[in-house]
């Protein structure tokens, strides 16, 4: 559990790493300050309106990646 409020800098760092490692197809900062992310070329894009929502998205994605990796190693 976080003891400090989430920031865009923190969520942007996570999104950048996930993008660089190929887990996100696109990450974009929109003019209103929100973030738009897309997992795959043909998948639906998600708009993240707050850094907490972005970190929730990251948490779900990391959990999914770990589960996929665990199943692949079996």
User: Is 19 within a domain?
Assistant: yes
User: Is 3 within a domain?
Assistant: no
Query: If residue 11 lies in a helix (H) or strand (E), which one and from where to where?
Result: helix 8-20
Residue 18, pLDDT > 90, answer: yes
Residue 72, pLDDT > 90, answer: no
CA 22/CA 13 separation, integer angstroms: 14
pLDDT at 1 (0 to 100): 59
CA 51/CA 58 separation, integer angstroms: 10
* Domain total in the chain: 1
- pLDDT confidence bin for 69, thresholds 50/70/90: confident
Taking only the tens place, the pLDDT of each residue in 21-34 is 999 999 999 999 99
User: Is 1 within a domain?
Assistant: no
User: Is 58 within a domain?
Assistant: yes
Residue 71, pLDDT > 80, answer: yes
Task: Provide the domain limits for residue 25.
Answer: 8-67
CA 66/CA 72 separation, integer angstroms: 10
């Amino acid at each position: 559990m976080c003891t400090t409020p989430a920031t865009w800098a923190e969520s942007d760092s996570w999104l950048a790493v996930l993008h660089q490692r190929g887990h996100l197809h696109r990450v974009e900062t929109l003019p209103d300050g929100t973030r738009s992310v897309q997992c795959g070329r043909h998948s639906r894009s998600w708009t993240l309106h707050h850094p907490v929502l972005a970190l929730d998205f990251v948490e779900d994605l990391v959990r999914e990646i770990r589960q996929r990796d665990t199943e692949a190693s079996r």
